[in-house]
Structure 1
């Protein structure tokens, strides 16, 4: 579900490999992200370019992870598919500074 790469400057690049983040895989996503944070990842770039569909469970999982990261570091979401970006716009999540849809 998530490929991980650690850069020399301590930035973790996590790439979602599924094309959906929904009720079926959000618990695993949340668990994996929590493990990354517990293991010291405080600067994360989450590449979502493979995600073409995001439901309310997936959005809730992302919000949960963003909240968990905010006091300890940075989580930047990149590569948002137009369908996913539309969900972020409808929920006003695109106004968060931790989202860069075009990278």
Structure 2
């Protein structure tokens, strides 16, 4: 499981560099997200643009990552592929997460909030 991270403006951006988040990698994803987010500022954006498949284990790992941040910090999602967006819509998780159509919009939302 490869994740890349960098700070852009007031946001900590984590890029998921894999095409799948499924049962085979869900625990690794969750553990690596937690390690990266440990000292992250209040706003964390996961760039999911390369993820073409997300199963229930992967969804659980994304939710667990959000919960790890607690109420004082926020996990936002960006650039969901159509298949992954459908999973979030069908499970109504699209009402739990802030979801941006792409990273430009996500980072623009950061500028709007500043």
Shift, 1:97, TM fit: 4.4
CA contact (8 A) 2:43 2:75 kept: yes
2:7 corresponds in structure 1 to: 6
Alignment of 1:27 with 2:51, yes or no, is: no
TM-score calculated relative to the size of structure 1: 0.88
Equivalent residues in 2 for 1:38-49, closer than 5 Å: 38-49=38-49
Q: Structure 1 runs of 4+ off > 4 angstroms?
A: none
Q: Cα distance 1:31–1:99, how it changes in 2: closer, same or farther (>3 A)?
A: same
CA contact (8 A) 2:5 2:36 kept: no
Q: Cα distance 1:55–1:37, how it changes in 2: closer, same or farther (>3 A)?
A: same
What CA RMSD, in Å, does the superposition of the two structures yield over aligned residues?
1.4
Gaps of 5+ in 2: 103-114
User: Which deviates more from structure 2 when the two are superposed, residues 51-60 or residues 22-31?
Assistant: 22-31
Equivalent residues in 2 for 1:82-101, closer than 5 Å: 82-100=82-100
TM-score calculated relative to the size of structure 2: 0.80
Q: Cα distance 1:90–1:59, how it changes in 2: closer, same or farther (>3 A)?
A: same
Q: How many residues align?
A: 101
Gaps of 5+ in 1: none
